[in-house]
Amino acid sequence: MTLTVETYGTLAEANAARRGDSRYLAGGTLVMRDLNYAVPGLSRVLRVSNPPRAIRQQGERLSMDAGVTMADVIESREAAFLAPVARSVGGPAVRNMATVGGNLFAAHPYGDFTAALLALDGEVQFVDGRTQPMEAFLAERDRAPLVASITMRMPRTGEFRFRKVARVKPKGVSVMSIAAWLPGAPMRVSQVRIAFGAMGPTPLRARAAEQVLEGKVLDASGIERALSVATQGLAPVDDALASAWYRNEVAPVHLRRLLLDEEPEP
Ligand SMILES: Cc1cc2nc3c(=O)[nH]c(=O)nc-3n(C[C@H](O)[C@H](O)[C@H](O)COP(=O)(O)OP(=O)(O)OC[C@H]3O[C@@H](n4cnc5c(N)ncnc54)[C@H](O)[C@@H]3O)c2cc1C
């Protein structure tokens, strides 16, 4: 099949040129795989010559252009709290190409960075100027226009935690990832947000656990009820890495380690 590659000057122009047979190419770590496997119905690739790649602090929020790469995040001072998340995505070659925007669309079991954005009250800005909270976006991302940027809360020191559980370390694919924004930690926490990656078709919030943590101190007795409801609302599937049963069994164990801020296993 013939493949056409079209290069545009802006995301808005690329967005206007989208049709059913086309895919936007960002870092290409997933799109190139589809092209190599000749995924049916993909005959046009749209790209932008120099997509914006800025990271900006805006009061209590941080904004990132969709074209920011994992390597950009690791180098950024403003986004230092997200460096462990970016470092968990693939190996160095992948991180040099993989974008934040592409991660928003990555299918299970990928999407570790997006789990962090969900925990951090992320909001998506589309190229047409509309905005959408991360959770609503993830529920209908297949119909979304191109994403221009993402904003998120900037946590205070010690309020954001991330763990990735993988069989191959340090750069294996997720059995699950857990990101949590814990305002008030390690003392009484309030308005906690916990997001799991690879525990459903998209990253999902553990709302039941969030609710019972309200006003609790993050110690063994304070987190007990949250662990008992940790998997409510999650929808893991069986894959080559782990069964849904296994994921459900170990999720409270990993959530416990994160909430008690225990060192991740080497
Ligand atoms: C070896 C390997 C290891 C990997 N390891 C991990 C991992 O550990 N964790 C993880 O989360 N992921 C992993 N990935 C998956 C992938 O690299 C990341 O999810 C990455 O962030 C995808 O970004 P990209 O720019 O390469 O996306 P692309 O491949 O360019 O695009 C992916 C999808 O997103 C869409 N898209 C991209 N940008 C936009 C935009 N601005 N607006 C609308 N749609 C857009 C594209 O059209 C496409 O459908 C891995 C991939 C490989 C090949």
pTM of the model: 0.97
Each residue's pLDDT tens digit, 196-226: 999 999 999 999 999 999 999 999 999 999 9
Q: How far, in Å, is the centroid of ligand 1 from the Cα of 107?
A: 9
Predicted local distance difference test score (pLDDT) of residue 262: 93
Superfamily in which the 160-259 domain is placed by CATH: CO dehydrogenase flavoprotein, C-terminal domain (3.30.390.50)
Residue type, 130: R
Residue 264 has pLDDT above 80, yes or no: no
- Domain 55-153 annotated CATH 3.30.465.10: yes
Which residue minimizes the CA distance to atom 50 of ligand 1?
A: 90
- Domains of the chain: which residue ranges? 4-48, 55-153, 160-259
Q: Which atom of ligand 1 is nearest to the CA of 106?
A: 19
List phi, psi (to 5°) of 227: -65, -35
Q: How confident is the model at residue 169 (pLDDT cuts 50, 70, 90)?
A: confident
**Edge-to-edge, what's the strand order for the sheet holding 22-24?**
4-8, 44-48, 22-24
Predicted local distance difference test score (pLDDT) of residue 242: 96
Q: How far, in Å, is the centroid of ligand 1 from the Cα of 59?
A: 29
To test ligand 1's pocket by mutation, which of 89, 96, 143, 177 has the most ligand atoms within 8 angstroms of CB? 89
SS3 assignment, position 204: strand
Whether 255 and 194 have beta carbons less than 8 Å apart is answered as: yes
Residue 265 has pLDDT above 70, yes or no: no
Each residue's pLDDT tens digit, 101-132: 999 999 999 999 999 999 999 999 999 999 99
